[in-house]
Structure 1
Amino acid sequence: MDNDELKGITPRLVEQIFQSIVESPSNMEFTVKVSFMEIYMEKVRDLLAPQNDNLPIHEDKTRGVYVKGLAEVYVSSVEEIHEVMRRGTGARIVAYTNMNAESSRSHSIFVITVANKNLDTGAVKQGKLHLVDLAGSEKVGKTGASGQTLEEAKKINKSLTALGMVINALTDGKSSHVPYRDSKLTRILQEALGGNSRTTLIINCSPSSYNEAETLSTLRFGMRAKTIKNKAKVNADLSPAELKALLKKVKSEAVTFQAYIAALEGEVGCWRAGQSVPETQWVTLEKVTKGETGSASSPTTAAPTAPIPAFKALMDDSRPATPAMVLEKDEREEFLKRENELTDQIAEKESELTNRETQLNQLKEELGYFKEQEGQITKENQLMTTELNELRLQLQKVSYESKENVITVDSLKETNQELNAELEELKKQLLDLRIAQKESADGEKEKKKAEKMAAMMANFDPSVSSLERATFVIPHFAYALHSLIRSCAERDNGEGEADPRGLDNETSASLSNEELANLRKELADSRSLIEQHEQTINELSHTKENLERKREDLEARLTTLELDALTDLKRANEQLQVALSSQPKASSDMTEKEKDMERMRKSMAQQLSDFEVMKKALMRDLQNRCEKVVELEISLDETREQYNNVLRASNNKAQQKKMAFLERNLEQLTNVQKQ
């Protein structure tokens, strides 16, 4: 439609209509309205209002055959018609088949109604253009239609067959009945096929030999449609002036007819009386019209006459000249009215039938669902009945057992009370044993600690020599422990690098993954504990160095004080001797000297007391350090015991060798400490 060169016949027709409207005289008024419908599954559906489906078909003497409730849109340009066509085409029902990816599943009818009114005379003319798109006939074997598509194909072929029968009846010339009502398509197109219209059929067929049969059938169909002969006339409503002139003409013709009838009756009377009327006196319409009346007694003979113009006009006002039963005007109106009512009832019944079918399908689905549920419930009921019987048997069995159990429970209650009493006694005894065991363990631990402290402190003396011995023992202890840790680390690294695969294989052979993880965790804890011991030893070594520096300072101060005191004493002795020799002279000086000596003694005593306090503090600090060392030894022994237990549990030779090496190093460390 949008391409000026490739557009089809429909856009060109629309453009021609509006071009004619533009070129018409100014006293002519035009109105154009369009409607778009489709016939799907033998139901009329409005494409401009798709919610309106199953519309009824009516007929009256003024409008002819029409679809009730069909939407009509007034348009004023070609673009508006194109827009209406696009909207309606988008609402059409299409489906995929083997012959066409977008096969139309319905017949569509686009109706353009043009009304022309002469503003001067008031005469109105009206015409309709039906553009019909017929759905192609289908062979199920080629299209592969099934299900809903198959039902649609059946309806399409049925309506096309009805159209073919109508065309056959119209072209036969012998048929007294044309089956317009066999299909809604032919009913809507009744006037377009055999009435006041011109019919044009455009055939779309395939040149392929694969579709030879369909092509020939379609061409024959077109040839039959081509032979349809219609008598088209202008649908015009006369103006009042034209109606008055026609009435006057009809009245004059009526007078002429009455005179003609009277003359004919006179001539017939003569013939009946046995008289003969000369041929020159026969009554004719021309003689009556001219006023020449023959003798009533003379024999005359009526001659065939041409149709009267007024009568001819009345004949032209009739509906399409298709073969039909002759009915009176009142009977025809009553018949059309009754037909319209029945058509409405049929449409309502069809809609109701569709709803009932939908409800029936839903009820069938629900019934099937309920049947399935009933089957499942029946099976479940059988299972539940079986289980119920089993449960009843079990209930009886349980009831008997419960009676026996009641008796047993009574006896067990008594036994339970006795056992509870024994259990309470055993709990008390166990608690006492645990308390005693804990106290004994704590006592042994304290005793062991006290013994080690006593053994360690026995080697220390609160004199200078004890400090010297401590300074000798602690470095050896630190060095031995440090060498032990370093050798353990080197041995671990060496063994890990030497044969990690063999160790893992041997370990995995005797241990599970969880036990191996626990062993590794305990080994890591042991290493961290050794690192803590090493850190503590480093702290002790630093403390020892500080104590040595303090001791050296104190010894230096003590030596200095002793030397100063000896020097002062010697000087005082000399002065005393001099004073004794010169006692009478220096009695006052002697007193002052004694005072000085007293002050010196006090200062010396104060310094000695400070030295003793410092020495006691150093001894307390040393004792605390020794206690820490003892605690570390105890924890190290416990760690070693745990490690031994782990090694014994793992049964690993490499770990046993490593443990033996650690034990030797610990023994060396212990020997160094004792020395």
Structure 2
Amino acid sequence: MSATNNIKVVCRFRPPNAIEQREKSEIVVAFDDNLSTVQLRSAQLSSGPEKDGFTFDRVFPMGTKQQEVFDYGVKDIVKDVLDGYNGTVFAYGQTGSGKTFTMMGADIDSDELKGIIPRITEQIFQSIVESDEHLEYFVKVSYMEIYLERVRDLLQPQNDNLQVHEEKSKGVYVKNLSDYYVSSAREVYEIMRQGGAARVVTSTNMNAESSRSHSIFLITIRQRNTETGAQKTGNLYLVDLAGSEKVGKTGASGQTLEEAKKINKSLSALGMVINALTDSKAKHIPYRDSKLTRILQESLGGNSRTTLIINCSPASYNESETLSTLRFGIRAKSIKNSARVNAELSPLELKALLQKAQVANASYQKTIAALEAELAVWRSGGHVEPSDYAVAGSDKAGATAPKQPPTSPTPSTPSTRPMTPVNPAIDSLKELDSRPQTPTVIGLDKDEREEFLKRENELSDQLAERERALNAAQKLIEELKEELAFLKEQEATTSKENKAMSAQLNELRLQVERLDYDNKEGVITIDILKEQNLDSKNELEELKKTIADLKSSQKDVSTEDKEKRKQEKMALMMAQFDTQGTFSEKDEQLRQILAKLDTIDSAGAVSTLTVDDITQVRRQLAEGQSLIRDTVDRLRQRQEENEMITRRKDELEGRLAALEAEYEELLEKTIHDEETSNVDLAESMADLKNKLEAQYAAKRDAHVNEVADLKQQLEMKGNELRSLNASIDSLKGVNEELKRAFAVTSAGIEGGKNLAESAQDLERTRKAINVQLAEFDGVKKSLMRDLQNRCEKVVELEIQLDEIKEQYNNVIRNSNSKAQQKKMAFLERNLEQLTLVQKQLVDQNSALKKEAGIAERKLLARNERIQNLEALLQDADRRLAMQNQRFEAQLQAVKDRLDQARAQKAATTSSLSFGRIAKPLRGGGGAATSAASGPTPVSGGGMSANPLSRLQNEEGMKAVAEGAVVSHDDGVRRSPGDRGVATMQRGWGQKSSGGSLAGVKRIAAGSVKEGGRGGKGKGGVVDARSRVLLEFF
């Protein structure tokens, strides 16, 4: 039941991408009305068959939906796989042409954007639901990629160098590739996401998510007829090839460039295989040149129904790549595959074939006996009539023999006699072989080929083991190198630390010795300083008493001199301000004016005044009054200034007192410090002299400045007094004018009309003048008092300044003699003390020499012991640190590996744990359902949702397929384990597709008993499973 067919090739064009639009590329392809031929602009200009275009099974222009590509391109292949054929769908094209979009889609959960693989998955489970009820299916999937010519399991990424093997019963397969049972499209999607996350992708100039490997998604569907026991197995390879690349366009470099080289190399090997398959003269097909062509060996010219989807760009920017892709598709379209059903005969079919073969064998035995008898007659020289010839199928040879079909002789071995009849049952057995041969051109016999494949597989396994051992050895070498470098670095650092610690230890020893010596000297110095301190205290007390006596005697003597000097200076100062005569003269003139005004008040004199005279007198009086007011205001201001000067004088006196106190304190402190210190007294006294001179100069300058300021203020006051005298002189002139006015008015007072009013005015004027004169007298007296007080203060300050000068000179004169005396006394005391110390040292020297010898020996022994212990301690610390670091490094490496293994195991086993249990899927009797993920049927129309039932059903399948054949009551040969499983299945379906726990226990117990009676064979597997079930419950 084989069928020869060509590879189905469909072509799909994607819309222009952003790069092509940026380059302003044009559309260079055109399609015919039937959408089967595509014409390329550059191909039209050439001659030959390409001028008329490239014809494929179907051409999908830009904007074609995913559903349309699936419906025409690959929808029919699902039915073929369910019927037991192998199928392959792979996408080919340059990088960025839309291969991954076609196969996987942008979003597998979107009805519009999901690709071919999700749609095939949904179609598989939909077809299982619509199949007959007596058909049972097992679906399992695998996911791998070919990256840098290494096969990597995407569901177990740690398996990154799997080997490709070939066996007669299994064909070409990948050893140790993980597979997972699935029961719905949702589980397949989960596996696809898991594997897609582990796939290698990177960004290039042509594609932001460029696939750097060929991915192969394998779906294996095993169909079992529950009525006859026949099984069929179909494998569906869904291949997403990595795109061919031009380095100039992709900008690949480094690791990306190495990936591009491997990709182009594997695609080149694929092209070489296709060229060899389409070349009738080719004697060798180079399947083994690449892992890709080796895995797809049966898809290319072998046992498979293959669909090739070539993805192209319609833009002129990628015109050369599009032309190469179209030529690849045309070559691949001429490949012929011989697809056959991968069937396994059921026991009934094998029984029927055996019965037919037995009947045919009996007929052949009769024919052989007749021919041998005829041959004996001929050899004996006899003659056999033509009517008596032995003919196969005749009554003579055996009536039960089946009729022989006509046969033709083999062209390579012609013969004159007819061929020995061939049993048609044997022909049917050949047609129902478990699987067709893998395509090959090596001229080997079957036994030699099988031996060759076994040897090849063994060598591949050995090569893989050697590679793993080499990788492990390289890792070990790297680790040892790292450890050696670490140890060298540790040794260098340890030696440096050792040298540094030794130098530090020597320095510490010298410091200890130095500190001991300094300590002894310090004790001696402390004793000396204590004695010096006592002497200094006594001398200081005596000096304090002397200073107190001198101060008391000086106060008594200086008070009398101070009073005399004060009186003399006051006399000189007041003589400079001879203002008494001036004021007295002005007072006398004012009194005369007032007397004249009194004489005017008489009756005889008033009559002589005129109105103009009176007016003029009034004006002059007003002016005099205004001048008097101004003079009074100026006097008041001067009084305020005098008060301010008084306050300033008080402040200066306070500062002077503070400075004197500081001077005394500094003097005492300096004397005390100089007495207690052990420095040269001459230098210290010179420093003290300089300090005192500086302080005295500062204070003297301050006092001189203050005296100068006070003198300037006194001069200003004298000037003001002189101006006041001038104003009084002006008032005197006014009075004289008034006298003349009164004289004139006395002559003409007889003609005055308002004499009474004038008299009253004069009276008021006289009174006002009297009041002002009284105020002026008071201001004058207060000003004189204030002036006298200020003069007294100035005199006192000058006297104090002279006293300070005298004290300073006395201190300077006395300091040199006292310093010398103190120095001599200090040296005498030191000499006495040194004499005593020398005596003590002489006495102690002999004793110390003996003790020093003993102490030296002890110290040497102790130092040697300490050095030995320190060396041992450092050695132990170094070894311990090295062991700790090595242990920590090993522990960290183990932790990292453990975490990595756990992460990988968690990423695979946790998310894909559902795929470790076989899930039989029963047909739904042709009832369609709209569920995308497919139903979960149980026994009798559905799949069991219980993992335990799935396990039992799977074991039942194994028992049926592999068990030893024995006779049974119903005529069907079963194994003891198969009877147990059948009992389990019948009991399992008794009650709501699974029954109760008690039923399970009962069924399992029955299976164990049946297995015990069977004793041997494959039934033991079921027995063990049943015992596990009993222990579980």
What is the Cα deviation at residue 226 of structure 1? 2.0
The structural deviation recorded for 1:485 is 5.9
Shift of 1:14: 0.7
Change in Cα spacing, 1:127 to 1:656, as seen in structure 2 (3 Å) is farther
In structure 2, the residue corresponding to 1:151 is in which secondary structure?
helix
Q: Tell me, yes or no, if structure 1 residue 343 matches structure 2 residue 460.
A: yes
Residue 57 (structure 1) aligns with: 164
Q: Any residues of structure 2 matched to 1:387-536 within 5 Å, and which? A: 439-440=542-543, 443-444=546-547, 447-448=550-551, 451-452=554-555, 482-484=647-649, 533=654
Rate the CA distance shift 1:237–1:645 in 2: closer, same or farther, 3 A. same
Provide the rounded CA distance (Å) in 1 between the counterparts of 2:135 and 2:544: 130
Residue in structure 2 matched with residue 311 of structure 1 by the alignment: 427
2:106 is the counterpart of 1:80: no
Contact 1:278–1:300 at 8 Å: present in 2 too? no
Distance 2:440 2:387 in 1: 41
SS in structure 2 at match of 1:249:
helix
- What is the CA-CA distance between 1:352 and the residue it aligns to? 2.7
> In 2, Cα distance between the equivalents of 1:15 and 1:663?
119
User: Residues 83-482 of structure 1: matches in 2 within 5 Å?
Assistant: 83-254=190-361, 290=403, 302=418, 308=424, 310-311=426-427, 313-315=429-431, 317=433, 318-320=435-437, 322-358=439-475, 439-440=542-543, 443-444=546-547, 447-448=550-551, 451-452=554-555, 482=647
Take 1:168 and 1:269, find their aligned partners in 2: how far apart are those partners? 59
Q: 1:162 to 1:368 in 2, by over 3 A?
A: farther
* Secondary structure class of the residue paired with 2:119: helix
Change in 2 beyond 3 A, CA 1:175/1:479: closer
Q: Do the aligned partners of 1:279 and 1:300 also contact (CA within 8 Å) in 2? A: no
Flag structure 2 segments of 5+ consecutive residues without an equivalent.
1-107, 395-400, 407-414, 497-526, 564-642, 671-688, 711-790, 801-1033
How far 1:29 sits from its partner (Å)?
1.3
- Equivalent positions of 1:504-653 (< 5 A) are 533=654, 634-635=660-661
- One-letter code of the match for 1:31? F
**Unaligned stretches of 5+ residues in structure 1:** 294-298, 381-423, 461-477, 489-529, 535-629
Does the 8 A contact of 2:152 with 2:161 survive in 1? yes
Q: Could you tell me whether the CA contact under 8 Å between 1:34 and 1:110 is conserved in 2?
A: yes
Cα distance in 2 between the residues matched to 1:292 and 1:658: 153
Cross-structure match for 2:155: 48
- The structure with more helix, counted as a fraction of residues: 1
Relative distance call for 1:46 and 1:268 in structure 2 (3 A) is: farther
- Conserved in 1, the CA contact under 8 Å of 2:168 and 2:437? no
Secondary structure at the residue paired with 1:202? strand
**1:284–1:302 contact (8 Å) kept in structure 2:** no
Q: Indicate how the Cα distance of structure 1 residues 175 and 442 shifts in structure 2: closer, same or farther if over 3 A, else same.
A: farther
Displacement after TM superposition at 1:284 (Å): 9.5
> How much has 1:446 moved relative to structure 2?
5.6
Partners of 1:216 and 1:264 in 2: how far apart?
68
- C-alpha separation in 2, matches of 1:283 and 1:194: 46
Q: What is the CA deviation profile of residues 132-159 of structure 1, one whole-angstrom value per residue up to 9, with x for unaligned ones?
A: 1111122223322222222222222222
Query: What CA distance in whole angstroms lies between the structure 2 residues aligned with 1:38 and 1:367?
Result: 38
Code of the residue aligned with 2:323 in structure 1: it is L
Q: Match for 2:454: what amino acid?
A: K
Amino acid at match of 2:466: K
Q: Is the 8 A contact 1:282 1:302 kept in 2?
A: no
CA, structure 1 residues 303+46, in 2 after alignment: closer, same or farther (shift >3 Å)? Answer: closer
Q: What is the TM-score normalised by the length of structure 2?
A: 0.38
Find the aligned partners of 1:111 and 1:83 in 2 and give their Cα distance: 15
Q: 1:480 to 1:252 in 2, by over 3 A?
A: same
User: How far is the alpha carbon of 1:225 from its aligned partner?
Assistant: 2.0
Aligned pair in 2 of structure 1 residues 301, 339: CA closer, same or farther (>3 Å)? closer
1:35-64 CA distance string (max 9 Å, x none): 111111221111111112212222222222
Counterpart of 1:226, as a letter, is K
Whether the aligned pair in 2 keeps the contact of 1:484 and 1:665 (CA below 8 Å) is no
- For 1:324-349, what per-residue CA distance to the aligned partner results, in whole angstroms no more than 9, with x for missing partners? 33544443433332222111111112
Change (3 A) 1:47 1:455: same
CA distance in 2, matches of 1:441, 1:184: 115
Q: Structure 1 residues 268 and 78 mapped into 2: Cα distance closer, same or farther (>3 Å)?
A: farther
Alpha-carbon contact 1:281-1:300 (below 8 Å) kept: no
Label 1:207 to 1:646 Cα distance change in 2 as closer, same or farther (>3 A): farther
Change (3 A) 1:458 1:656: closer
Question: Relative to 1, partners in 2 of residues 1:301 and 1:335: Cα closer, same or farther, differing over 3 Å?
Answer: closer
Distance in 2, Cα, partners of 1:457 & 1:54: 125
Distance 1:282 1:174, change over 3 A: farther
Tell me: CA distance 1:425–1:372, structure 2 relative to 1, closer, same or farther (3 Å): closer
* Residues 351 and 26 (structure 1), Cα distance of their counterparts in 2 relative to 1, 3 Å cut: same
SS state at 2:312 partner: coil
Change (3 A) 1:658 1:177: same
Alignment: residue pair count: 468
Q: Name the CA distance, whole Å, in 2 between partners of 1:365 and 1:141.
A: 40
Change (3 A) 1:433 1:321: closer
Q: Contact 2:343–2:432 (CA<8 Å) still a contact in 1?
A: no
Q: CA deviation at 1:82?
A: 0.8
Q: Percent of aligned pairs with the same residue?
A: 53
Q: CA–CA distance in 2 between the matches of 1:142 and 1:77?
A: 42
Structure showing greater relative contact order (alpha-carbon pairs closer than 8 Å, 6 or more residues apart) = 2
The question of whether the paired residues in 2 share the 8 Å contact of 1:116 and 1:124 is answered with: yes
> Residue 180 of structure 1 contacts residue 187 of structure 1 at CA under 8 Å; is this kept in 2?
yes
Q: TM-score, normalised by structure 1?
A: 0.56
* Cα distance between partner residues in 1 of 2:370 and 2:704: 164
Q: After superposition, what is the alpha-carbon deviation per residue over 1:237-288, rounded to whole angstroms, capped at 9, x for unaligned?
A: 111111111223334455667788899999999999xxxx999999998989
CA-CA distance at 1:176 after TM superposition: 3.1
Counterparts of 1:219 and 1:657 in 2: how far apart (Å)?
114
Distance (whole Å) between structure 2 residues aligned to residue 233 and residue 425 of structure 1 = 122
Alpha-carbon offset, residue 448 of structure 1: 2.8
Deviation at 1:169, TM superposition (A): 2.2
132-141 or 16-25, which deviates more: 132-141
Kindly provide the CA deviation profile for residues 458-495 of structure 1, in whole angstroms up to 9, marking residues without a partner as x: 999xxxxxxxxxxxxxxxxx998842366x7xxxxxxx
Contact 2:298 2:439 in 1 (8 A): no
- The 3 A distance-change label for structure 1 pair 251 and 481 is farther
Following the alignment from structure 1 to structure 2, what is the Cα–Cα distance between the partners of residues 425 and 292? 144
C-alpha displacement of 1:21:
0.7
Paired letter, 1:181: R
- Output one character per residue of 1:354-383: Cα deviation in whole Å (capped at 9) or x when no partner: 344556677889999999999x99xx9xxx
* C-alpha distance after superposition, 1:513-567 (max 9, x if no partner): xxxxxxxxxxxxxxxxx8xx48xxxxxxxxxxxxxxxxxxxxxxxxxxxxxxxxx
Indicate whether 1:660 and 2:776 are aligned: no
Aligned partner of 1:69 among 170, 176, 182: 176
Shift of 1:108: 1.0
Cα distance between partner residues in 2 of 1:270 and 1:338? 53
Distance 1:301 1:270 in 2: 19
Which segment drifts farther, 438-447 or 124-133?
A: 438-447
1:20 and 1:371 map into 2 onto residues whose CA distance is: 69
Aligned partners of 1:244 and 1:270: how far apart in 2?
Answer: 39
TM-superposed deviation, 1:28: 1.4
CA contact (8 A) 2:230 2:344 kept: yes
